[in-house]
Structure 1
Amino acid sequence: MTAQLHAMPLTRATEPAPTEPVPTATATTPTAPGSSQVGALIRAHRLRIGLTQRELADLSTISVRAIRDLEQGKARRPRTDTVRLMADALRLGPRARTALETAAQQGRAGAHCLAEPPAPPTALHAMVGREAELAVLTGELASGSERLVHVVGLTGMGKTRLALAVADRLHATGMPALWHTFRGASRDHLGPDEGPWSERVGAAVSALCPTSPEGPTDGGGDPAADLAELLGERPVLLVLDGAPAGAPRFDRLTGLLRACPGLRLLVTSEQPWRIPGERIFLLSPLEVPAEDADEGPGEPASAPAAVRVFLGHLRRTRPEFVPGAADLRYAARVCRGLDGHPGALAAAASWLVVCDLAALCHSLDADPTALLDHLGGGEGAEDFRRTLCLRLDRLPEDASALLGALCEGPGSGFELADITALTGRSLPECGRMLRELLLAGAVRATHEGGGSRFRVLGLVRAVCRGRAVTASRA
Structure 2
Amino acid sequence: MSIDVRTTEDVPQFGLLIRQHRMRIGLTQRELADFSTVSVRAIRDLEQGRARRPRQDTVRLIADGLRLGLRARADLETAANQGRTSWAVKASYEAEPPAPPVAVDTLLGREQETAVITDELGSGAERLVTIVGTNGVGRTRLALEVATRLHAADRTPVLWCAVAQPPAGAGGDRLAALVRGCVDQLLDTADPAAGDDLAAFVETVADRPPLLVLDGLGDRTVRPERVAHLLRGCPGLRLLVTADRPLDVPGERPFLLAPLALPEETDPADPLAVNQVPTVRLFVERARRARPDFTLTAADAPLVADICRRVDGLPLAVQAVASWLVVYDIPMLHQCLHGDPAGLLQHLAGAEGGTRLRDALHRRLALLPAADRDLLAALCARGDTFGLPDVMALTGRNLPDSGRAVRDLVLHGLVRPSYEAGQSRFRILHLVRAAQLCGPGVEPVPADVAA
> For 1:390-411, what per-residue CA distance to the aligned partner results, in whole angstroms no more than 9, with x for missing partners?
1111111111111011000022
Change (3 A) 1:285 1:18: farther
Shift of 1:41: 7.0
| Alignment of 1:337 onto 2:353 | no
- Compute the displacement of 1:295 (Å): 3.7
Aligned position for 1:161: 141
Alignment partner, residue 289 of structure 2? 316
Point out the more displaced range, 311-320 or 271-280: 271-280
Task: Please state how far the C-alpha of 1:128 moved relative to its aligned partner.
Answer: 0.1
1:403 maps to what in 2?
376
Residue in structure 2 matched with residue 188 of structure 1 by the alignment = none
1:181 alignment counterpart: 162
Cα distance change of structure 1 residues 48 and 301 upon mapping to structure 2, 3 Å threshold:
farther
Counterpart for residue 204 of structure 1: 182
> Of the candidates 73, 91, 94, which is equivalent to residue 114 of structure 1?
94
Is the contact between residue 137 and residue 258 of structure 2 (CA under 8 Å) also seen in structure 1?
yes
Partner Cα separation in structure 1 for residue 342 and residue 354 of structure 2: 15
Q: Cα gap change, 1:301/1:41 in structure 2, threshold over 3 Å: closer, same or farther?
A: farther
Matches within 5 A, 1:246-395: 246-297=220-271, 299-300=272-273, 303-377=276-350, 382-395=355-368
- Residue 15 (structure 1) aligns with: 32
Per the TM alignment, residue 43 of structure 1 is displaced from its structure 2 partner at its CA by 7.7
Structure 1 gaps, min length 5? 1-10, 29-36, 77-111, 186-192
Q: Which piece of structure 1 moves more, 387-396 or 255-264?
A: 387-396
Asked if the contact 1:74–1:230 (Cα under 8 Å) also holds between the matched residues in 2, the reply is yes
- For the residues of structure 2 that align with 1:324 and 1:197, how far apart are their CA atoms? 51
| Contact kept? 2:380, 2:440, Cα under 8 Å | no
Partner of 2:434: 462
- What is the TM-score of this pair, normalised by structure 1? 0.75
- Kept in 1: contact 2:307–2:334 (CA 8 A): yes
Determine if the alignment matches structure 1 residue 227 to structure 2 residue 201.
yes
Q: Map 1:240-251 onto structure 2 (within 5 A).
A: 240-251=214-225
Report the alpha carbon displacement of residue 116 of structure 1 after superposing the two structures with TM. 2.6
Change (3 A) 1:335 1:74: closer
Out of 133, 136, 155, the residue aligned to residue 116 of structure 2 is 136
Equivalent residue of 1:431, what SS? Answer: helix
Change in CA separation of 1:244 and 1:456 when aligned onto 2, cut-off 3 Å: closer
- RMSD of aligned Cα (Å): 3.4
* Partner amino acid, structure 2, of 1:217: D
CA distance in 1, matches of 2:56, 2:232: 28
Q: Percent identity?
A: 43
Q: 2:83 aligns with which of 48, 67, 75?
A: 67
Q: Give the 3 Å change call, closer, same or farther, for CA 367–415 of structure 1 in structure 2.
A: same
- How many Å separate the matches in 2 of 1:18 and 1:436? 67
Question: 1:415 and 2:354 equivalent?
Answer: no
Offset at residue 362 of structure 1 (A): 1.2
The residue identity in structure 1 corresponding to 2:182 is A
CA–CA distance in 2 between the matches of 1:428 and 1:210? 35
Letter in 2 for 1:220: A
Equivalent of 2:418, from 427, 446, 468? 446
Rounded to whole Å, the distance in 2 between the matches of 1:229 and 1:136 is: 30
| Residue 126 (structure 2) pairs with residue 146 (structure 1) | yes
Letter aligned with residue 436 of structure 1: D
Letter in 1 for 2:246: P
Equivalent AA in structure 2 for residue 68 of structure 1: R
What is the letter of the counterpart of residue 410 of structure 1? G
One-letter amino acid of the structure 1 residue matched with residue 157 of structure 2:
P
1:323-355, CA deviations, whole angstroms, 9 ceiling, x for partnerless residues?
Answer: 211122221111111111111111111111121
Alpha-carbon distance between aligned partners in 2 of 1:280 and 1:387, rounded to the nearest angstrom: 20
Q: Cα offset for 1:16?
A: 5.4
Matched-pair contact (CA < 8 Å) for 1:369–1:463: yes
Distance 1:342 1:74, change over 3 A: closer
How far apart in 2 are the matches of 1:377 and 1:393?
Answer: 27
What is the deviation of 1:154?
A: 1.3
Q: Which runs of 5+ in 2 are unaligned?
A: 1-27, 43-49, 443-451
**Closer/same/farther in 2, CA of residues 380 and 346 from structure 1, 3 Å limit:** closer
Are the structure 2 counterparts of residues 44 and 240 from structure 1 closer, same or farther at C-alpha, using a change threshold of 3 Å? same
For 2:165 and 2:383, how far apart are their aligned partners in 1?
A: 37
Say if 1:340 and 1:381 are closer, same or farther in 2 by CA, change over 3 A. Answer: closer
Amino acid at match of 2:163: F
Shift of 1:428: 2.1
Amino acid aligned to 2:173: G
Match of 2:446 in 1: none
Instruction: Report how many aligned residue pairs link the two structures.
Output: 395
Give the deviation of 1:431 after TM superposition.
Answer: 1.3
TM-score (norm 2): 0.78
Read off the aligned partner of 2:147 and give its amino acid letter.
A
- Decide whether aligned partners of structure 1 residues 463 and 74 sit closer, same or farther in structure 2, where only a CA change above 3 A counts: closer
Letter in 2 for 1:406: L
Does the CA contact (< 8 Å) of 2:432 and 2:438 recur in 1?
Answer: no
- Does the C-alpha gap of structure 1 residues 465 and 382 become closer, same or farther in structure 2, counting only changes over 3 Å? closer
Contact 1:415–1:454 (Cα < 8 Å) also in 2: yes
Distance 1:65 1:293 in 2: 67
Does structure 2 conserve the Cα–Cα contact (< 8 Å) formed by 1:240 and 1:266?
Answer: yes
In 1, Cα distance between the equivalents of 2:93 and 2:248?
Answer: 38
Letter of the structure 2 residue corresponding to residue 281 of structure 1: F
Contact residue 117 and residue 197 of structure 1 kept, 8 A: no
CA drift at 1:288 = 0.7
CA distance in 2, matches of 1:113, 1:151: 27
Does the 8 Å contact 1:245/1:271 carry over to 2? yes
The residue type paired with residue 178 of structure 1 is: L
